[in-house]
Amino acid sequence: MAGSGQLSGITVLGSTGSIGVSTLDVISRHPDRYQVVALTANSDDAGLLEQCRQWRPHYAVMADDQAAERLLQNVKKEGLETTVMSGADALEQVAALDAVETVVAAIVGAAGLKPTLAAARAGKRILLANKEALVMSGRILMDEVEQNNAVLLPVDSEHNAIFQCLPVNGAQNLAQGGVEKILLTASGGPFRTTPVEMLENVTPEQAVTHPNWDMGRKISVDSATMMNKGLEVIEACWLFDIEPQRIQVVIHPQSVIHSMVSYIDGSVLAQLGNPDMRTPIAHTLAWPERIDSGVQALDIFEIGHLDFEAPDHERFPCLELAYQAIEQGGTAPAVLNAANEVAVNSFLGHKLPFQGIARVIRYSLEQASFTDVETLEQVLSADRQARELATEYIARL
């Protein structure tokens, strides 16, 4: 265990991404506590090779076969001892290794679901950034965590803040703990004040330029549409076992308060900090201890004031769609998530206008057939159907 001399083994799924790199930055500050056992990426073999040189992991996995082949050649050439593997099954394998205590789930999108489930089945401590996994299959993932004594800790900054503000005896017990509601903060993204009539023509480059956070492209677009907050409402429902009506989205442009919990006695607890994901990553890595994250302390005088406003649903229709999906339940959130992934990809590829994202999702939710979620196959089938519907809608434009 960490702190007692023995190193704690870690797999970072999605290690070349924004969260992956921030995770390795925190780990680099604590060589006495953690050992990187496995790193994974999609197709950036150059990025993963660089990480292999620095971290000397036992395993490196590339989802893409050709990228894995290139990585393997280079690993051999440089005489590194890392075992290179490829494909979706290998991602699941390194999420479940005996030598691994903690799995950082930082793959973006539905691709992260199966390896995250594998980590849960193997009873790991899961640091969850991959919110899409929980949105798609909340019931299944939460059940696997419980049945296998896994531990699920939220890296998403809002959920991490809520986790820190919850009653001491934990997230299982909100009503008894006197929690009335959750105030989920949102920055409002780059288009918070852009005239609504101009939104149709905003570009991917404008959309991925977030005012406060430096993140991957998909979540940056999700922040611009506020679908990110919609996904986070659903994520919070599962993590904290709370009804969607008790989650209130609050626009807070400074992104200093990362979320709040409101109690029946009138107390509102908030977690504050500079907008830097290394704080929630360090918090979940060491929990229940605290470790240095490399993040500077908040200078409250420099911030001066904090602003709050209600979200504008005309500007951000995706938020409403997410509430509808979680109210609907069953496979509806999986449909919402898949249609969003297809739409965001098309927008990033200049094949769909910004406001088309919400139209694609609305269409997919209207056309899809929903079922209850009892098996993973039901989730994956809803995901496939929604991708087909969204693709077909976009092709007709």
For residue 203, the 8-state DSSP code is -
Q: Which stretch binds ligand NAD (CB under 6 A): 77-85, 106-114, 180-188, 368-376?
A: 106-114
Measured CA to CA, the distance from residue 192 to residue 257 in angstroms comes to 18
Q: Report which of 374, 362, 368 is spatially closest to residue 386, judged by C-alpha positions.
A: 368
The reply on whether position 44 binds ligand NAD by CB under 6 A is yes
Of 106, 226, 338, 368, which lies in the binding site for ligand NAD, with binding defined by CB under 6 A?
A: 106
Of 10, 24, 27, 41, which lies in the binding site for ligand NAD, with binding defined by CB under 6 A?
A: 41
The reply on whether position 341 binds ligand NAD by CB under 6 A is no
Determine the residue with CB nearest ligand NAD.
17
Closest approach, Cβ 72 to ligand NAD, in A, equals: 17
Of 101, 132, 144, 156, which lies in the binding site for Mg ion, with binding defined by CB under 5 A?
A: 156
Task: At 180, give phi and psi (nearest 5°).
Answer: -95, -50
**Which runs of consecutive H residues, i.e. helices, occur in the chain?**
18-28, 45-55, 65-77, 88-94, 113-121, 131-147, 157-165, 204-207, 217-225, 227-240, 278-286, 300-303, 317-328, 332-348, 356-367, 376-395
CB contact at 8 A, 42 and 18: no
* Residue closer to ligand NAD, measured from CB, 19 or 386: 19
Closest approach, Cβ 19 to ligand NAD, in A, equals: 4
Please state, as a whole number, how many other Cβ atoms lie within 10 Å of the Cβ of residue 341.
21
The reply on whether position 16 binds ligand NAD by CB under 6 A is yes
For residue 152, the 8-state DSSP code is E
The reply on whether position 108 binds ligand NAD by CB under 6 A is yes
The reply on whether position 189 binds ligand NAD by CB under 6 A is no
The reply on whether position 185 binds ligand NAD by CB under 6 A is no
Of 60, 219, 282, 321, which lies in the binding site for ligand NAD, with binding defined by CB under 6 A?
A: 219
CB contact at 8 A, 183 and 165: no
* Residue closer to Mg ion, measured from CB, 159 or 315: 159
Residues in 119-158 that interact with ligand NAD by CB under 6 A: 129-132, 156
Q: Which stretch binds ligand NAD (CB under 6 A): 160-168, 214-222, 249-257, 292-300?
A: 214-222
Q: Report which of 139, 230, 232, 244 is spatially closest to residue 181, judged by C-alpha positions.
A: 244
Q: Report which of 195, 201, 159 is spatially closest to residue 314, judged by C-alpha positions.
A: 195
Residues making contact with Mg ion (CB under 5 A) = 156-158
